[in-house]
A and B are shown apart, each in its own frame.
Chain A
C-alpha cells in the first residue's frame, strides 16, 4: 500500500516540472478564464482574442524582438479552480495574467497575483469591491457596474421620459450588479421599478416571467443579462403581446441578439453599451473584428472578448513603451503614463486604483436591417 501511495505522490509532484518547451526569452502572458463549463464561451473568447493578437505580433518579429507565448488556464469560473490556476500561472513565470471572467473567480486569483507581484488585468470583472484592496498591479479594462447603471437610469428618465421600469437580471454577479445599481439610480431620479426578478440563464422559456411583466404594464423593460437569453426574452415578450420598449445592458450588444430574437422582433430594441466597434474611429477596432472573423469564422460573440483583446493590447503597449517586462515598471507605466490609449472599446486610461476612467456608454438601437445604430430619439 505504502509503495503505491508513494508512487502516486511522486507522480503528482514530479509532473510539476514538465512545462512545454518555449524559447527561453519568450514573454509569457497568462489567460485565465472559464474554458469549459457553461461559461466556456467567455474564457475561450479571451483566449482566441489573445492568441490572435499574439500571433500577429510574433509574425512581425515579436515584442522587443521576443516571442509572446500565451499560457491558458481554465478556471471554469469557479473560485477554487481560480486559485489553483493562479498558482499554476505563477509557476510558469508569466509576466502578466489576463482574467478571470467573473468577479468571484477573479477575487481569489487577485490575492495570489498580488502576493506574487504579477501584473493582473481583468477584462470583465465589474464588481466594485475588487479594486478597493489597494493592489498596485491590479487593473481592469471594463467599466464598473455603477457607471453603466447610472447611464441607463438617466437615459430612461431624461432622454426617454419614462417612469415605470421592469428590471430583469440573470442572477450572475455582473447582471445582478448592474440591475441593482440601475434600480438605485432609477429611484433617485424619480422613476419607479415596477418589477424586479431574475431569469435562469440557459433557460429556454421565459414566458412565466414575461406573463407577470405584462401584468404590471411597464413602459420599459431593462434586461441586464446576456444576448443569448436576451434574444429569446425579446422574442417571447413580443409573442406574448408586450409592446413596451425593451432595453439591454452591454452584454446584449451582440449581433447574435438579432439572430436569436428574429429581425422583426429585435427591431427597436435598445442597448446601453460602450460604443459598438464599427462606430469607433479607430482602425484597430474594425481591423480586430475583421481579423477575428477571418481567423475563427465568426465575429467575437461577447463584448468581453473585445475587452480581453484590449487587456492584451494594454500589456503589449506597456512592454513596448517601457522596454521592460518587470511588472512593477509596467504597473507604474499603466497608472501614470498611459493616457487615452486607443482601445478597441474606446480610449483607455487607468486611475490610481487600476479602474478604467470615464464613461463612454451610449444608447444604441436595432434598426430595420438589424444593425446597431446610435439612438437618436
Chain B
C-alpha cells in the first residue's frame, strides 16, 4: 500500500483524485437535503481540522482551545454583518485576519510553555472566550442568545441559501485549502515546523527561530479557523456561545489525532470518524455518546499512529528510531 502510494505520486497518477473529486461534487444531485447538510458540516469540520492540524500536526503543540479562534471568526463576521450590512464573503478575509491577530496577541506570551502546560492554557483561552461571549461585553455578542439574523453569503447577486448551494461554496474552499496545505507541507516553512516538532533545540541550532515558527503556526491555524467561522455564521444565520464550547475543541483535536497528526488525508478520515459516523448513528439516541467515547478509546488503542498517518512524520520518526519510543509516555520529556 505504501509502495503503491509512492508510485502513484511518482508517476503523477492524479486521475483517481480528480475522479474522486468529481464524484464528490455530484453528491448534492442525489443526496437529500439532510445528507447534503451533513456533507456541509463535514466540510466545515474539515476546515477546522486542517487549521488545527497546522498547530498540532505540523508544529507539534497541544491546543485544546481551538474553538476560541473559530468563535472569533464567526462573531467578527456576525457582528460586522448585522451592524453594518457588509456582505459575508467580503468579511471572510477580515474574520481570518481578526482571528489571526487575536491568536498572535494571546499566544505570544505562552509559546515557551511545555506541552501539558500549553494544553491547559489553550483550554483556558477557549473558556475565557466562551464566558466573554455569554457575558455580552459592550453589548456586542448578544449574551446567551447569540447574534441572530446574519445574512446569507452572496456572490455576484447569487445568494447561497439551500444546503446544495452551501455544499459547493464550502467544498470549493475546502479543496483550495487542501491544495494550499499540500504546498505548505513541502515548503521551507513546512520543513521548519518538522524540525521544531521533532527537536526544538536542534532546530534552534540550525538557525530556525522556533518561537517565531510556533507563533506562525498559531496565526495561520487561527486565520483558517476564522474562515470556517464565517462559513458557519453564514450557514446558520444565528450563532450562540454554546456552539464554541470546549466540546468543539475536543472534536477538532480528536479529528487531528484520530486521523494522524500532520496528515491531510488523516484529517479527512478523522473528520469522517468524529463527525459523519456519529451522524449516521443518530438513531441510537441515548447510547450514541457512550459508543462514541468507547470508539475514541479503541481507535487510539488499536491505531495509535492515527488512521491515515503522515508518511513524512513516520519517515522522520523511523529514521531516528523514534517511532515507538521518542515521545512515549512514561519517559521524562
Chain A contact residues, CB within 8 Å of chain B: 1-3, 5-6, 8-9, 11-13, 15-16, 20, 35-36, 44, 72-74, 77-80, 83-85, 87-88, 90-91, 103-104, 107-108, 111, 127, 129, 171-173, 176-177
B156 at the interface (CB under 8 A from A): no
- Pairwise interchain contact A36-B144, C-beta atoms closer than 8 A: no
Say yes or no: A2-B144 contact (C-beta < 8 A), given A87-B34, A90-B33.
no
B87 at the interface (CB under 8 A from A): no
- Pairwise interchain contact B34-A173, C-beta atoms closer than 8 A: no
How far is the CB of B132 from the nearest CB of chain A, in Å?
12
Q: CA separation between A171 and B24, bound complex, in Å?
A: 42
Complex partner residue of B144 from A87, A108, A171, CB under 8 angstroms: A171
The residues of B that contact A15 with a CB separation of less than 8 Å are 280
**Chain B, range 218-269, C-beta contacts under 8 Å to A:** 232, 235-240, 242-243, 265, 268-269
B35 at the interface (CB under 8 A from A): yes
- How many B residues are at the interface, by size bracket? 35 or more
Say yes or no: A13-B35 contact (C-beta < 8 A), given A79-B236, A104-B145.
yes
How far is the CB of A294 from the nearest CB of chain B, in Å?
21
The residues of A that contact B24 with a CB separation of less than 8 Å are 9
Complex partner residue of A104 from B5, B238, B282, CB under 8 angstroms: B238
- Pairwise interchain contact A91-B282, C-beta atoms closer than 8 A: no
Chain B contact residues, CB within 8 Å of chain A: 5, 8, 16-17, 19-20, 23-24, 27, 30-35, 37-39, 41, 134-135, 143-146, 148, 163, 232, 235-240, 242-243, 265, 268-269, 272, 276, 279-280, 282-283, 285-286, 288-289
How far is the CB of B241 from the nearest CB of chain A, in Å?
9
Complex partner residue of B239 from A11, A79, A84, A127, CB under 8 angstroms: A79
Say yes or no: A172-B144 contact (C-beta < 8 A), given A16-B34, A80-B243, A84-B37.
yes
Q: CA separation between A36 and B288, bound complex, in Å?
A: 9
The residues of B that contact A85 with a CB separation of less than 8 Å are 282
Q: CA separation between A87 and B38, bound complex, in Å?
A: 9
- Pairwise interchain contact B41-A74, C-beta atoms closer than 8 A: no
- Pairwise interchain contact B272-A8, C-beta atoms closer than 8 A: yes
Q: Closest residue of chain B to A74, judged by CB? A: B285
How far is the CB of B280 from the nearest CB of chain A, in Å?
5
Interface on chain A toward B: helix, strand, loop, or mixed SS? helix
How far is the CB of A97 from the nearest CB of chain B, in Å?
14
- Pairwise interchain contact B20-A5, C-beta atoms closer than 8 A: yes
The residues of A that contact B134 with a CB separation of less than 8 Å are 171
Q: CA separation between A5 and B42, bound complex, in Å?
A: 13
Say yes or no: A78-B243 contact (C-beta < 8 A), given A5-B20, A12-B38.
yes
Complex partner residue of B34 from A9, A20, A74, A88, CB under 8 angstroms: A88
Say yes or no: A9-B5 contact (C-beta < 8 A), given A16-B32, A83-B37.
no
Q: CA separation between A2 and B144, bound complex, in Å?
A: 43
Say yes or no: A1-B285 contact (C-beta < 8 A), given A13-B35, A111-B237.
no
Which 8 A-B pairs rank lowest in CB-CB distance, beginning with the nearest?
Answer: A2-B16, A87-B34, A104-B240, A91-B34, A2-B20, A173-B144, A107-B238, A16-B35
Q: Closest residue of chain A to B1, judged by CB? A: A1
Complex partner residue of B37 from A9, A87, A103, CB under 8 angstroms: A87
- Pairwise interchain contact A74-B288, C-beta atoms closer than 8 A: yes
How far is the CB of B187 from the nearest CB of chain A, in Å?
22
- Pairwise interchain contact A35-B20, C-beta atoms closer than 8 A: no
Q: CA separation between A83 and B236, bound complex, in Å?
A: 8
Q: Closest residue of chain A to B276, judged by CB? A: A12
Q: CA separation between A74 and B243, bound complex, in Å?
A: 15
Q: Closest residue of chain A to B163, judged by CB? A: A87
Q: CA separation between A245 and B31, bound complex, in Å?
A: 59
The residues of B that contact A5 with a CB separation of less than 8 Å are 20, 265, 268
- Pairwise interchain contact B238-A108, C-beta atoms closer than 8 A: yes
The residues of A that contact B289 with a CB separation of less than 8 Å are 36
Q: CA separation between A20 and B23, bound complex, in Å?
A: 28
Q: CA separation between A9 and B35, bound complex, in Å?
A: 11
A to B CB contacts below 8 Å, 19 in the list: A2-B17, A2-B19, A5-B20, A5-B268, A44-B286, A72-B285, A78-B243, A79-B236, A79-B240, A80-B41, A80-B243, A84-B34, A87-B34, A104-B144, A104-B145, A104-B238, A104-B240, A104-B242, A171-B134
- Pairwise interchain contact A90-B31, C-beta atoms closer than 8 A: no
Q: CA separation between A16 and B28, bound complex, in Å?
A: 13
- Pairwise interchain contact B148-A129, C-beta atoms closer than 8 A: yes
Q: CA separation between A127 and B285, bound complex, in Å?
A: 27
Q: Closest residue of chain A to B272, judged by CB? A: A8
- Pairwise interchain contact A35-B280, C-beta atoms closer than 8 A: no
- Pairwise interchain contact B31-A16, C-beta atoms closer than 8 A: yes
